[in-house]
Amino acid sequence: MGEPALDEPARRFASALLSSGQMALAGLRAAFFAESDRWFLWTPVLVGAGSALYFAAPAEPPLWLAGTALVLAGVALYAARGAQWASLAVVAAATFCILLGFAAATSRTALTAAPVLQAPWSGTLTGRLLQSEVSNKGGLTLTIAPLTMQRLSADEMPARVRLSMRIKNVEVTPGETLRLRARLMPPPDPVEPAGFDFARQVWFLRIGGVGFAYSAPDHLAPPPDDLTTRIARLRSAITARVRDTIGGPAGAVAAALITGEKRAIPKKTVDDLRRAGLSHVLSISGLHMVLFAGSLFWFLRAGLAASAHLALRYPIKKWAAAAALGGATFYLAISGAGVATQRAYVMIGLMFIAILLDRPAISMWNVALAALIVLLWQPESLLSASFHMSFAAVVALIAFYETPFVQNLLAPNREARRSRWLTPLRYAGRHFLGIAFTTAVAGFATGAYSAFHFNNIEPYSMVGNLGALPLVSFIVMPAALVALVLMPFGLDGPALWVMGQGIDVMLAVAHFVSSLEGAEGLVASAPLPALVLVTFGGLWMALWRRRWRFFGVLPIVMGLMFWSSGTKPALLIDRDGKLVALRGADDTLRLSSARPAYTAEAWLRHNGDHRAPKEAASKEFRTCDVLGCIMRAEGNVLVALPTSLDAMRDDCTRADVIVTSIGMPRSLRRSCKSRLVVDRFDLWRNGAIAFTIPAGEVSNPENWERQTALDMRGDRPWVRKPTARKKVKAEAATTVKPAPQ
C-alpha cells in the first residue's frame, strides 16, 4: 500500500522536469525565430562545418558521392520551402549548407590535384620561375614550374617545386626559364601525430617537392610578355626599390608591407614583433588593406569635396569608393595575393560595393558574405591560423562596436561647446581609446587561436599596439600609398624616407616591449574539441542579439576548462627516428639530441617549454657513445637508441624499448627480447609516432598506446603512400614483444 505513495513525489518531479524542459525548448524556439534576420550569419558557419567534416574524414570521399548528397539536399530544401512546419525548412537549409561545404572541399581537392614526389630526387631541373624571394641571409627562395626533370616523366613531375638557394648575388626574373641542379624531397610529414601538416598545406598550392639548389641557374629563355609575368616583374621591382632605398630591417619590413615578401626580415626583428603582439603587422591582411584602400578613399573623397560644384552635384563618395576598389585590386596584385590578402580584399571589396549600392559599408552581413565566399573558393582556408584569427577579430570587433554602450562612449559630444584646443584633444582621446578597445577585443578574440596554433600568448600586446598602430595608421601606410603613386615618376624617395622613419620607431617600440620580463608566454598544445567549444561559444555571443546570446559563455568556459586536458605522450619519435623525447616526472621533455632543430623546437613549443633544444638534450638525461644512446623513461624503463646492427643486437638483450633509425632484420626481430621495437621501416610507413601510458602500465611498454601520423592523417591525396617507394623485406608494423620469462 505504501509503494504508490513513495512513487508520487518521483512522478511530480518528473512531470515538473518535463514541463520545465518543454518551456525551455519553447523559449529557445521563440528566440530562434525572433532572430530570423540573423540566420544568414550562420551560413558560413554551417558551410565551414561541412568543410571540417571533409578534412576530418579518415579516407578521401568520392567526388560523385559529395555531389549526389548535395543535389539530394537541394531537392529536399526546395521541397521544404512551402512546408507547414518552419523547423523542417530550417533543418533542410542547414543540411544543404553543410553538404555544400563538404562538396566544395571535395571539389577543391580534386581540382588542385597534381603529382607529388614519392621519394628524394636529385638532378637537373628546367622550369619556369614563378616567384622569387630574398632571404634574410642574402639567398633566394624560388618557386618553379618544372618543364623537365631528369628521370621523371611528365606524369611524375610536380606542377610546382620550392627551392632555397644559398648562392648570393644571383639575379633572376619572374617568368624566365631556368636550368639548375637541385635536390628535392617530398613535402615533409608532420613532426608528431597531431602536428601541423605541411604537406596538406602545399598540396593546395600545387607544390609537390621542396629542397635546395646545388648550382646557380642558367638563363635559357626570357619571360613571356603576359599579364602574370608583368605583375610578377613589377612586384619584384617594387620590392627591390623599397628595400634598397630604406635599407636595413626597416627596408625589409617596408617591402613586406607593400609586396608581402617577408623572408628578408631578420629573425630578431620577427621575434620582437611577435613578442610585442605586432606580428600581424607583417601579414598583408585586413589592417593593411583597410589602411591602404581606406587612405586612398579618404584622400580622393577629400580632394573631390574641395570642389563645391562636384560635392553638391555628383556622388563623389561613390566615385572615391570605385577608385579605392581599383586601388585595392592593384594592392592585391603587387602583394602576391596571399590567402590572408585575398580574404582581406574580399572584405574590403564588399565594403566599397556596399557604398556603391548605398548599403552599410561595415556590417556583420558583409563579414558573413566574405567568409562564405572564401570558404567556397578556398575551403582549405578553414584550417589556417590566418583565417581563424582574421575573422575572429573582425566578428568580435563588429559585435563589440555595434553595442549601444560603446557607440555612445565613442561618439563625439556634439552638444559640448566647440573649442579650438579641446576638439583635437577629444579626437585624439577617442582615437587612442578606440585603439585600446580594438586591441583588447581583438586580442581576446584571437588569443585562443594564437595559443592553439602557435602555443603563444602576448601579455603586453596592448602596450605594443598602442605604441605602434598609430604610427602604422597615420605615417607608415599613408606614406606607402604616396610612394607607390610617385614611384613611376621617380619621386618616391621622400615618401619612402618617411615610411622608413615610421617603421624604425615601430621596431623600437617592438624591441622595448619584447625586452620586458614575461613578454613571451608559451602554453602547451590544446585538444581540438577545446578550440571548437570556444569558437562555437564566441560565435553564439557575437552573431545573436537577444539575451540568449549569453548562453555562449557556457561552451567558452567548458573549452577553457578542457584546454589543458588530454593525455600527453610519454614517448615521442620523429619521422626519421633520429630524435626521441621522453616525458620526465616533472612533465618536461627530455630529448635524445638537439637535432633536427626544427623538430626539437616544435616539440618543446607544443609542450609549452621555454628551453632551447640543447638544454632539453642535456647529458644528464642520457648516456651516449659511438654506438647509440641509452635513456630511462618513467618506471625505470630502459630506452635504447642504437645506431648500428651490433649495438642493436646488444640492446635486444637488456633494453625494454628500442628506437632506431636503421632497419632491424627479421631474424633479429624474432629473437629480440625487447618488449617494444620501432625501427626505420615502422617510421617509413607510419611517420612520427607517439606513445601514451595508460594508468598502471608504466613499466609495461607492450601495453603503451600508440598513435601515428598516418593514423591522424588518414588515406588522403596529400599523404605520401609508402607503397610507391622501393619494396622492403622487413616487417612494417611496430613490433611488440612479450616480456621475457
Rounded Cα distance, 39 and 42, in Å: 6
Residue 614 covered by a domain = yes
Q: What is the mean pLDDT of residues 504-531?
A: 88
Q: What is the DSSP string of 641-687?
A: EE-SHHHHHHHTTT-SEEE-SSPPPHHHHHH---SEEE-HHHHHHH-
Rounded Cα distance, 77 and 371, in Å: 22
Residue 14 covered by a domain = no
477 with 554, same domain: the answer is no
Q: Look at the chain and report how many structural domains it folds into.
A: 6
Of 5-14, 290-299, 589-598, minimum mean pLDDT range? 5-14
500 with 604, same domain: the answer is no
CA angle, 477 as apex, 486 and 344 as ends, to 5°?
A: 110
60 with 35, same domain: the answer is yes
pLDDT tens digits, 714-737? 899 999 876 544 443 433 344 444
478 with 541, same domain: the answer is no
Residue 22 covered by a domain = no
Residue 52's pLDDT is 96
pLDDT tens digits, 579-603? 999 998 888 899 988 888 899 999 9
SS3 727: coil
Residue that terminates a domain, selected from 80, 111, 142: 111
Query: How big, in percent rounded to 5, are the helix, strand and coil portions of the chain?
Result: 55, 15, 30
Residue 12 covered by a domain = no
Containing domain of residue 33, as a range?
A: 29-111
Residue 231 covered by a domain = no
pLDDT tens digits, 405-414? 777 766 654 4
248 with 346, same domain: the answer is yes
366 with 309, same domain: the answer is yes
Helix (H) or strand (E) holding 346: helix 339-356
Give the CATH number, domain containing residue 125.
Answer: 2.40.50
244 with 345, same domain: the answer is yes
| DSSP one-letter code for 155 | T
215 with 173, same domain: the answer is yes
Residue 24 covered by a domain = no
Residue 229 covered by a domain = no
Residue 2 covered by a domain = no
Whether the CB-CB separation of 552 and 539 falls below 8 Å is answered with yes
612 with 705, same domain: the answer is yes
pLDDT tens digits, 90-124? 889 999 999 999 999 999 999 999 999 988 999 99
Whether the CB-CB separation of 124 and 180 falls below 8 Å is answered with yes
Residue 415's pLDDT is 47
300 with 371, same domain: the answer is yes
192 with 80, same domain: the answer is no
Predicted TM-score (pTM) of the model is: 0.85
205 with 179, same domain: the answer is yes
Residue 147's pLDDT is 94
Residue that terminates a domain, selected from 174, 197, 224: 224
